[in-house]
Amino acid sequence: MYDHILFPTDGSEPADSALDYALQIAAEHEATVHVLNVVDTSQVSRSGMQGDVSAALEQEGTEIVNETAQRARERGISVVSEVIHGDPYEAIVEYSTQSAVELIVMPTHGRRGLQRFLLGSVTERVINTADIPVIAVNPGTQPHTYPCQDLLVPTDGSRGSELALSEGVALANATDATLHILHVVETGSLGPDARSLVKDEELTTRADEIIADAIETAAAATVDTVESEIEFGIPSKEIRSYIDTHEIDFAILGTHGTTDFSRYMMGGVSSKIVRTSPVPVMWVREPDPSGG
């Protein structure tokens, strides 16, 4: 399913914790791992000592990719390693395009602060601009195992969630995982009376249609085991609750083709989920019609 996987690394503990998951994916799919370190040119410019700093950072990057590549080779995984210069997120996306990789695996945050999560980070920017799926791994959670057993795709009927479902169907078939399809009718901002009315009216009808369409898609692809559910409430909370209750170990969410991180499917649900997700989250981006 994946022949080439990109693993950008800055040598930090978060990156190190995500590496094992990336190597598990590579081993399962017999993929080549591309280990990449980016020398941040903006950091070099700010230093005022461009030559010395650039050389030092490149040397550091070489040591990081060599060590990471060695860990991959010890597990029998084919490796390509490279150190390049540029803006980190732009360089990562450009490399993914030029090297024809099919998947990027990254931690939700890097060495610039363990408390600085996805929002505003390199990972966020990669998710917002890469044309291929990106898996974000939260280093603050327990170790994860791939292939997954229970795979969740929340859907709201948008194009982004349709793309996520397509990826989820393919992954479920490739790994024999149970595919969980969830739609959340957002009623968190409504009062209890309005909430009860909503359940009997158009939103419930629409929810049934969304779930039915998703199940039909999975059935057409002959996914072995599919579970579906409709919940009412605040989407981010219901998705997280479903992950915990059903022991989900992987989730796939669709994003809109925009560089505005506040605009994700279901009104920003994805950005809330990824910061605290106890499981790895794959992001599948809806391409920007303008080509951005």
Q: Do β-strands 178-186 and 226-233 pair in parallel, antiparallel, or remain unpaired?
A: parallel
CATH 3.40.50.620, domain 4-137, yes or no: yes
Rounded to 5 degrees, φ, ψ at 259 are -90, 5
Domain-wise residue ranges, the chain: 4-137, 150-285
Distance CA 143, CA 145 (A): 7
CA dihedral (54, 60, 64, 65) in degrees, to 10, reads 40
Distance CA 210, CA 231 (A): 13
* pTM of the predicted protein model: 0.87
Q: What is the pLDDT of residue 143?
A: 85
Mark the ranges of the chain whose per-residue pLDDT is less than 70: 43-51, 109-120, 188-200, 256-271, 274-275, 287-292
CB 221 within 8 A of CB 199: no
Q: Which run of H or of E encompasses 93?
A: helix 88-98
Q: Do β-strands 281-285 and 134-137 pair in parallel, antiparallel, or remain unpaired?
A: antiparallel
Q: What is the pLDDT of residue 270?
A: 63
Q: What is the pLDDT of residue 73?
A: 97
pLDDT tens-digit readout, 190-212:
555 555 555 557 778 889 999 99
In angstroms, the Cα distances linking 142 to 21, 113, 138, 244, 249 are 11, 19, 9, 13, 11
Return all residues near 72 (Cβ < 8 A) that are at least 6 apart. 23, 26, 33, 35, 79
Q: What is the pLDDT of residue 122?
A: 85
CATH class of the domain whose range is 150-285: alpha beta
Give yes or no on whether 4-137 and 150-285 have one common fold.
yes
Closest of 87, 143, 104, 132 to residue 279, by C-alpha: 143
pLDDT tens-digit readout, 73-127:
999 999 999 999 999 999 999 999 999 999 999 988 655 543 343 444 788 889 8
Q: What is the pLDDT of residue 269?
A: 66
Q: What is the pLDDT of residue 41?
A: 77
Closest of 165, 163, 158, 156 to residue 231, by C-alpha: 156
